[in-house]
Structure 1
């Protein structure tokens, strides 16, 4: 799916810079001036040189006005660029009218504005410019001043010859326009594909960097957590019986240390093909319940809705999918005011999971960039993880990347008014989910799914 922001950026890159048209018009002015002076003074051909220089001077004045009124980097709207190219066609028509009409060899310059339009403007505007050029060439085929020639000799080109020139101009404009537009479109598509490839490689590079952080964290934190657990156990043994509050605190500390060790174990197992007893057959209901249960104790109602035909998807449990979905559910619970709704549905071809919350929703100005690393999508109105460093967007980036590796398409949006909140939709082709979760044919190499701590959330 094409990102709207990227599409808008591509359209801006396609727009003509005013500096480009100014430079091209100066070249045309210089060429017209040299041709006019050489024809009148060198060849001594008589024609209305004064009117010709009025047309040339008009183009020069327009160029000066554009240079003084706009910066060099200013990009023209499509309609503005089409208007300036239309002027170029009309100015050239005026010069050709004074110097022989379509019989003038410089009539071929009619093709220049059409070719520029075909490369940089939408097809509708290019067609309109082409029709303007055809209309001007048609008039110049029957109405024009004689072609400048030696004194006492008047060249006369028959209508059939002028019609042939008109036909060649029309066919050349159509061919050059179509060819330039096709080449420009292909180059633009190739550029878009390369940009998308670079984005994918950048995302993979970010995730690979987080792989190393996860491995280092698992290694470095293992020993301190074991020490904490051991000291806590010893303190519990020597605890006086008349200190129930302290006993509760120590029990909580032991529980949290055990939870930290479990998180580290999950991180290490995310990209592993051999996960031992974790690879058990699971249904969609089992998957959703496993993802939801750890987040029911935070004072937020979590509603689960399942729908689909009787043949519920069954697959081998994949820790990467469990982690990705769990991260999205945890985000929803963190930001929700009172309720999170999870809808799981399936058909013969698709499996869809929709996660909604009634919180503040995603910030509009970066909604299209969600899922990139270090892009935070919502405000700090969250229930947990308010410590410094939270809200970097890494959690959503990791979850989105892991789920996409399993064949899913992840989209983010805000609820439609009057509702508030965020909506994340995960869609798998059913065959891809069952195959990916089985650890068989995968989109990436084994061992690439290790991630950073789940505490680095949006």
Structure 2
């Protein structure tokens, strides 16, 4: 009988999830190959010392021990290569992985030569290695490995050292038992490695699809940004003209010598017009300014001015805002958060107005900021008609026309900005009627450092 003593180190399974680069995949493959080789060396050493006593088979110890020693040295070299790649930020190439597999096929062939050659039932251990190699290497290299394995197998049909059986009458039984063990081992290895490989490939495909969608989404956002810049440039002149006209009308209305003019009845409206035009000019000034990174700002220092600016945009609306103490001390990217919350509050105000609520007498809009574990949660609550489930699922994913005339572009941009910050926007029903928009953003190490570096804010 031919003992179950096989030293073919099979190619490793695929690297973990793909959000990593292919180079990292190769590095993890080499690391798994090294681990598997150590495991097989340990198993073969155990068989070497127990085979004669358990199965009555005398093995050629000296050549087998020499082969094990050579493989041990080679695996130490493999571990050194792993450290080298890790230290230099490189990764093994396909050719290097192929050489590793070629060495294992050679070691398997040498061990089979001393343990019965092609009559050893474990000779089919060539197949699991080739099956896994075909899944992780280019097909040309797999063909080369297959041709090499075929040549080794063919030579073992002609040249090998027969095993020394203490009881030759048990050879058939030993052979059948060896074939069963070989099938079990091969099936387990192929199922384990190929299943892990298939799972990793599915994860890679999913992440590639997600990356494509993200790139497409960002391309759309960039196009909208370009349109916004063009609109900002074009709208500057008419706004300046309106500002001049509004100023002249207000001056006429305040002129005591012309108190009989009908314009005097609209002084309050003219002041509101001038405020709105001034707000437009300040927005355009920000659009024209260079894109510079703003330092994080504490929420308790930013919130009140933000609410004041938003109220200027919606003088007829009522907004109540507050932050929990543990959230108020956080430092955040107020530029992008202001953009997201402005869009959210604008939509909430329009929804509540469409529901017929009087902003001065009806329930106010609410902006609540809280810290939950390692995230900051911003909730905008309105008392409008609410959102149908079908519309809620599409909001933020693409421009969607709304019942009060909007096109959903603002929420699309807000969702994109939230994802760039590592967060997400979601919508929930308000138990009192209306909708709760929830912006959840992770706390970052930079924010924590910014908090520690800033002095305590005294409101």
TM-score by length of 1: 0.49
More helix by share: 2
